[in-house]
Amino acid sequence: MGLSRRLSAAVAAASLVAVAPALPAAASTPVGASAQASGHDLVVDRVAGADRMATAVEISKTYFPDGADVVYLATSKEFADALVAGPAAAVEGGPVLLTRAGELDARVAAEITRLDPDKVVLVGREGALSNTVEQQVGAATTGKVERIGGENRYETARQLVLSVFGEAPVAFVATGRNFPDALSAAGAAGYEGAPVVLVPGEKRKPDSRTRALLDQLGTEETVVVGGPAAVSDGFIYGLLDDGYDVYQYDGDDRYETNEFATYEIALEAETAFIATGRDFPDALAGAAVAAAQGAPVFLSKPTCIPRGIAENIDEAEYLERITLLGGAKVLGPGVESLTTC
């Protein structure tokens, strides 16, 4: 099978897709109820906080009003841990919250207490979330506090994937070096009930630990998110040589990659989310919620929606509501009105 710039058919759904109840629409006041796409009105609303940590809290409050069995907590400063936490949280039915490395944000502590989870999973070693954070989480909940962390982001991702996904016929593959293309991996993987496998994509062939992980998961299909700058052609051909079916979302930039990754999801969706493509926290905090609703997470520029994303919205005939994730500084009035650029 050759490399493809666009996944032409929907990836076969993994056998462990979580069956989740419909979640409530965002409680905020619509900000663009007259926005138009596909010839019909769309309700456009927003969930936002004062910063990335507060936005994640507001997402949790809106979509988990009655609490959650599990909470995943990741650092607010680096994308990798939150990226792999999103699909795991989607499978287990809980939110992803963010905090600083050295201290548990008071708003996050209050949200953990409100959610009253059976367990809170800290993602990353002490350099990502300190022992102080772990102790403060313990004080905020009566549930079990666990930590999953390896010697680096790749090992943390492997441990987290194995802890949640006993098997994964489909696995999404994303670079662990930077976030732009990988942003689209969390939402798409969560939708499929599949894990995100972080890889050193700059290498000329798959590393032994990636091979071992895919073997343990019983993976048959891999979906590579990003082009050669993210995951090299040599790495992809190595996956093919190892016997995996390989699909690829490969756009000219992060927005086109997102266009390809969300196309099939959007066709069936009644709800969609939009997050900034300039940074990672809002998109990754929203990934678990979007997966539970069968909804895409579109990436946008601050002032307008990229044309390819707008085309996905136009073709989504069942779409009724779009929720913006983040404040007006990251998604401005042009995004609210679905202005195309």
Question: Is residue 208, in this structure, part of any structural domain at all?
Answer: yes
Confidence bin at 40 (pLDDT 50/70/90): low
Q: At a CB cut-off of 8 Å and minimum separation 6, what does 44 contact? A: 30, 31, 32, 33, 35, 321, 322, 323, 324, 336, 337, 338
Confidence bin at 16 (pLDDT 50/70/90): very low
Question: Is residue 157, in this structure, part of any structural domain at all?
Answer: yes
Helix (H, G, I), strand (E, B) or coil at 294: coil
> CA torsion sign, 40 to 46 to 52 to 56?
negative
pTM of the model: 0.86
Question: Is residue 247, in this structure, part of any structural domain at all?
Answer: yes
Mean pLDDT, residues 139-158: 96
pLDDT at position 293? 86
Mean pLDDT, residues 41-48: 93
CB 311 within 8 A of CB 338: no
pLDDT at position 37? 56
Question: Is residue 23, in this structure, part of any structural domain at all?
Answer: no
Question: Is residue 17, in this structure, part of any structural domain at all?
Answer: no
State pLDDT tens for residues 176-195: 988 888 889 988 998 899 99
Residue 315, pLDDT above cutoff 90: yes
Note down the domain range covering 110. 35-336
pLDDT at position 1? 31
Question: Is residue 327, in this structure, part of any structural domain at all?
Answer: yes
Confidence bin at 340 (pLDDT 50/70/90): very high
pLDDT at position 219? 98
Q: Which of 49, 73, 68, 50 is nearest to 59 (CA)?
A: 49
CB 147 within 8 A of CB 196: no
pLDDT at position 127? 95
Match 């601050």 to its residue by tokens. Answer: 302
Question: Is residue 187, in this structure, part of any structural domain at all?
Answer: yes
Mean pLDDT, residues 96-115: 98
- Total structural domains in the chain? 1
State pLDDT tens for residues 52-62: 999 999 999 99
Which comes out higher in pLDDT, residue 212 or 294? 212
Mean pLDDT in the chain?
88
pLDDT at position 182? 81
State pLDDT tens for residues 250-267: 999 999 999 999 999 999
Residue 27, pLDDT above cutoff 50: no
Question: Is residue 25, in this structure, part of any structural domain at all?
Answer: no
Residue 13, pLDDT above cutoff 60: no
